[in-house]
Amino acid sequence: MARIYEYQSKNLLKKGGVPTPQGEVASTPEEARAVAERIGRPVVIKMQVWVTGRAGLGGIQFADSPEEAEAKARELLGKKVKNFVVDRILVEEKLDIEAEYFAGLVIDDAQKCPLLVFSSVGGTGIEEIARTHPEKITKMPVDILAGLREYQVRNLIRKTGITGKPLVQLSSLLTRFYKVAHAYDARSAEMNPLVLTRDGKIYAADCHFTVDDYAVFRHPDLGIEVAREFDRPPTELEKIAYQVEEKDHRGTFYFLQMIDEVSPQDLAIGFNGAGGGGSMMSMDAVLGRGFKLANYCDTSGNPAAAKVYRAAKIILSQPHIKGYFASGSGVASQEQYHSARGLVKAFYEEQLEIPGVIRLGGNFEEKAIEILGTYLKGIPGEVEGYGRDDSPEFCARRMEELIHAGESLGHRVRSIEVLSPPAERYSFEILTGNLFIDQDKCRDCQSKGCVEACTAGILAIEDGRAALAISREDAKRGKCTECLACEIFCKFHEQDAIFIHLPIPGLKEYRDSLINGLDPASDLGKDR
Amino acid sequence: MVWIPRRISGRIGKAMSILVDAASRVLVQGITGREGMVRTQLMKDYGTTVVAGVTPGKGGQNVCDVPVYDSVEEAWQASGPLDISVVFVPAMLVKNAALEAIAAGIKLVVIVPDRVPILDVLEIARFADIKGARFVGPNTLGLVSPGKAVLGMIGGRAESAREWFRPGPVGVTSRSGGMTSAISYYLTEAGIGQSTIVHVGGDAVVGMSHPEVVASFQEDEQTRLIVMFGEIGTTQEERVADLIENGNVTKPVVAYIGGKAAKSGTRFSHAGAIVEGTRGSHASKVERLQAVGVQVVDSIADIPQVAAQLLDSMGGKNE
């Protein structure tokens, strides 16, 4: 449920014909003053944060003059409220209130339909209203195929005792509210309070929308950076991770940062779960051994190896984590060797120094564990692979033992090397990156095993050198499944001639700022 | 090539499982895609009767010896009646595909993709209701009736599906795909087979949710015990408790509820696993289920033992 700000929700309502108070958003005290001047009446100033109960936190102020508006705006802007720093405020005309109502739209998972809720009492939270005035609340399921008709709303509101002009106004207003919410794929929408003014008009004085994460792609105009529900703005690393998820729909990559800055003393680990249920179970197992999670990550739904690789690179952008723990349900239906190869490429590039416990139980687990065991011998960190018959609790204990045995100071974040292969190097584009082959090295290759390793069968030997066997367009369109098998084979069994470049936009800059910010005198990152 | 299960007891052989049987005629929508091809192979190898596939624009091709058509209507005309469709199309195309299948007369749709917009799911649900059809998912691994048929991608490939799942008396319903397999595998290891294993899907709104599946198990001759993997969020587990309280479900139920450590208001990967206020919390679900006599276990590992005790107390064989 991606949240949008009050002022954004109000703009949507306004466009859909639902009256809202006259007002504009401002991000400086001067702008606030200018808005108040344009309004020309007493105003209310509201901080724009995703926090309920703003009034109680001092986030809603009144001003009788533009000068006062500027002063109040100065107080609010920059203020820290829970996890937010106030960077914008809404300046609106102050309403002369006669009555307050509540209207909301939620999704009922039992009836599988939108549910319209109306209360003739508003202003406080709906749970509070339900407790104090249950008789004032009415609800109706909406037939999503037929839509919501004005007469249905009128019959609903009538039940709360409202009559006359407000009944007619509200019925029309709520019908339009539904249309807006539906058009924007609202996961929930709420107007609270709906205000009836003394001069007989009705306005959505406050409103709150969340947009369905899975439908955010239909609404680029909303400018939602990370379509996930958060009780805080997304972190930089979450934004980088989200771009990976957005650009690659093969499987799921969900990334949530749990600790903003892991300190060297924290017993925090990088967490890579697989599948919602298995991830939560595994999380419980590591928390049970006293670990903290630096992050929560889920790579499941049969992600490509390239996607797991990117997930690991992002997890390993968190300094001071003491270990890398991957575990899912243990009996996964996805081909686990994809995840294994993604991890191998990432761990090898990072020259991982912290221990890793990787539980890749399920379909092809033997092959997955073998890949980890074969190719991760050469890195400084100890990485162990486990399968379906090893419990998450056992694996969490192994994590603990390995961390204690190694006395590791924690993970060092490295800079990402800028890639500059010679222009004449043989290469072709793949779905989310580029594949380079140093064909000169193919001369010394005995096995030509890359062709066999390629599960998609897109490589062939031409004049003794490895090359693409299909058209470049097909490779780019996804015929190359980015399984990484050719690179890993060539690197460890042959000439190390193949390199698959899988860029992660923003990650290099992120790491560099981290390295510089952490300790400017440190030479971290220069060593490679 | 149809795989014939080695051990079919008389009763299991005769009764139709809750949603699918070896004889059910199955269509695959999106059969020419990455997942469509791989999982068609799985289903066929396991013994599912896959009779046709659909990918618009690719009619006339074959995938795993299954003919591909341009539309469901065309597939129906060419291949005869279709009982079930398994959908592997990209999320944004799921609504159209599911409505197409239901409009053509298919009565069960299994929607594997995740990230399907929730309002699309509501439209599918409403249309299915009008047409008397049902659907499992979205965001489901699918379901399997061991020894008979698999729908979706559960098991990954036939070889592992055969190893992990065996016919028997336990109906499994789960909101987590991986845990569906894990629980069933641990049951198999303990010598307890399964009637049907259903992953209802991880989303906030799904077609057949726990209560619908549990009610089906109640009617199912083969099922003697029900195992449910619940999670925080939604009303599914509470509605199962309602069914038990009203006497609509009398078979014993063993449950595990995931997400004990999850924070309120934060989502942990499954869209459905979010606690809103106190509603849908771990504690409230456990309390509600225990109040109606459900055995709620603290660890997945306890399920086989509890299941074995309950089955023993009822008498009869576990496989």
Q: Does A277 contact B176 at a Cβ distance shorter than 8 Å?
A: yes
Q: Which residues of A touch B231 (CB under 8 A)?
A: 276-277, 280
Q: Which of B94, B117, B136 is the last residue of a domain?
A: B136
The answer to whether position B11 is within a domain reads: no
The 10s digit of each residue's pLDDT in A13-36 is 999 999 999 999 999 999 999 999
The answer to whether position B74 is within a domain reads yes
pLDDT the model gives residue A3: 86
Contacts of B74 (CB under 8 A, 6+ apart): B54, B59
Tell me the CATH number at B230: 3.40.50.261
**A252-263: per-residue pLDDT in tens?**
899 999 998 899
| Residues 6+ away with beta carbon under 8 Å from A456 | A479, A480, A481, A483
Residues B297 and B255 in one domain: yes
The closest CB to that of A143, out of B114, B126, B205, belongs to B126
Q: Residue B313's pLDDT is what?
A: 92
- Indicate whether this model's pTM tops 0.90: no
- In-domain check, residue B115: yes
Which whole number is the average pLDDT over A491-498?
95
Token code pair at residue B272: 């459905």
- In terms of domains, do B125 and B265 share one? no
Domain encompassing residue B197: 165-314
- Provide the phi-psi class of A429: left if phi over 0, else alpha when psi is between -120 and 50, else beta: beta
Minimum distance, in Å, between the CA of residue A147 and any CA atom of chain B = 11
Tell me whether residue B152 is in a domain: no
Q: Per residue in B39-55, pLDDT tens? A: 999 999 999 999 999 99
Contact between residue B143 and residue A240 where contact means Cβ atoms under 8 Å apart: no
B143 in a domain, yes or no? no
B108 and B222 share a domain? no
- What domains, with CATH codes, occur in chain A? 1-18+96-228 (3.30.470.20), 22-94 (3.30.1490.20), 236-406 (3.40.50.261), 419-528 (3.30.70.20)
Residue B225 included in any domain: yes
- Residue in B91, B125, B259 nearest the CB of A214: B91
**Tokens 């892991």 correspond to what residue?**
A262
Q: Name which of B174, B239, B261 is nearest A110 (Cβ-Cβ).
A: B239
pLDDT of residue B280: 79
Is residue B150 in a domain? no
B127 C-beta neighbours (distance < 10 Å), count? 18
Residues B105, B29, single domain; the answer is: yes
Tell me: pLDDT of A121 over 80. yes
Please indicate whether, in this complex, the C-beta atoms of B176 and A332 are within 8 angstroms of each other. Answer: no
Co-location of B34 and B126 in the same domain: yes
- Domain's final residue, options B96, B118, B136: B136
Q: What pLDDT is stored for residue A524 in this prediction?
A: 41
The domain tally of chain B equals: 2
Residues of chain B with pLDDT under 70: 1-16, 261-279, 316-319
pLDDT in tens, B160-199: 999 999 999 999 999 988 889 999 999 999 999 999 999 9
Confidence band, pLDDT 50/70/90 cuts, at residue A528: very low
- pLDDT given for residue B263 in this prediction: 59
Do B126 and B234 fall within a single domain?
A: no
The proportion of chain A whose per-residue pLDDT surpasses 90, expressed as a percent, equals 75
Whether B282 is a known active-site residue: answer no
Q: What is the pLDDT of residue B259?
A: 78
How close, in Å, is residue A284 to chain B by CA atoms? 7
Mind telling me how many Å the CA of B269 is from chain A's nearest CA?
5
Q: What value does the mean pLDDT of chain A take?
A: 91
**B171 in the same domain as B126:** no
Regarding whether B307 and B264 lie in a shared domain, the answer is yes
Q: Are B186 and B281 contained in the same domain?
A: yes
> Cα distance from A126 to chain B (closest Cα, Å)?
12
The CATH number for B42's domain is 3.40.50.720
| The predicted structure's pLDDT at residue B5 | 38
Residues B131 and B212 in one domain: no
Rounded to 10 degrees, the C-alpha dihedral B262/B266/B269/B274 comes to 80
> Are residues B245 and B293 both part of a single domain?
yes
Q: Among B96, B117, B136, where does a domain finish?
A: B136
With respect to residue B270, please indicate whether it lies within any of the assigned structural domains.
yes
Q: Is the pLDDT of residue A247 over 90?
A: no
From the list B34, B181, B273, the residue facing A276 with the nearest CB is B273
User: B199, B210, B270, B282: which is the annotated catalytic residue?
Assistant: B270
Contacts of A214 in chain B (CB under 8 A): 91, 115-118, 271
pLDDT of residue B11: 37
Cβ–Cβ < 8 Å for A302, A338: yes
Residue B301 burial (CB count, 10 A): 14
For residues B200 and B278, membership in a common domain is answered with yes
* 8-state DSSP, B16: P
